[in-house]
Amino acid sequence: KQEVTQIPAALSVPEGENLVLNCSFTDSAIYNLQWFRQDPGKGLTSLLLIQSSQREQTSGRLNASLDKSSGRSTLYIAASQPGDSATYLCAVRVGMRFGAGTRLTVKP
Amino acid sequence: KAGVTQTPRYLIKTRGQQVTLSCSPISGHRSVSWYQQTPGQGLQFLFEYFSETQRNKGNFPGRFSGRQFSNSRSEMNVSTLELGDSALYLCASSPEGFGGTSYEQYFGPGTRLTVT
């Protein structure tokens, strides 16, 4: 059974810092991995999708990497802003398993 | 292109009642998935429908059911509500089903269900 873990559970940084969020999974036989952000009480917004054959994807200040062999993905956020404050979730497919998320607070 | 819409956004029901939630996917998307999100269990997969057929199902009791119509709109039904069913129910659509290589999900805002 696929287990997805996100570390840390919560993170608070000052504005402007570069930061890394981690996602690990136990079964490397995945089709893809998707990163989302969720604002309080809201739905999920897709950030990046990495296919199993890819190593990384970039969108603006965000960069996500995938290492299937070690069961890890990282989400790198450059020059963080207060508007980045949200909960970040990763999800792996087969079966769409989500991590518990990392709650990020960026302080002005 | 309009996003995924869910109705109603908020709902209060009494234990023992039943409830139906609705989800309209992005135009052209044929796959609709449902999730339950609670503080204790996080996001859990309920089921996925593709072209009116349930293709995948999570580990939930039979009180949770769904269907998909020919226009890809989907409904989820929960019968005999329990207090533990209080949650945010999220719907997501995708142009492909679970077996698609570029499966990417787009989520709606959710329906907040409170069972009293």
Distance from CA of A93 to the nearest CA of B (A): 8
Contacts of B4 in chain A (CB under 8 A): 43
Q: How far apart, in whole angstroms, are the C-alpha atoms of residue A23 and residue B101?
A: 21
- B37, B87 Cβ separation under 8 angstroms: yes
The confidence score (pLDDT) of residue B32 equals: 94
Examine the pLDDT at B43 and tell me if it is beyond 80.
yes
Dihedral in degrees, nearest 10, Cα atoms A68, B100, B105, B51? -150
Q: Does residue B23 or residue A1 have the better pLDDT?
A: B23
Among residues A92, A88, A89, A4, the alpha carbon closest in space to that of A50 is found at A92
Q: How much is the mean pLDDT over chain B?
A: 92
Q: Which of A46, A49, A96 sits opposite B33 (nearest CB)?
A: A96
Q: How much is the mean pLDDT over chain A?
A: 93
Rg (CA), chain A: 13
Report the pLDDT averaged over residues A56-81: 96
DSSP state, residue A83: G
Are A31 and B92 a contacting pair at CB < 8 A?
no
Span A7-45, pLDDT tens digits? 999 999 999 999 999 999 998 888 889 999 999 878 899
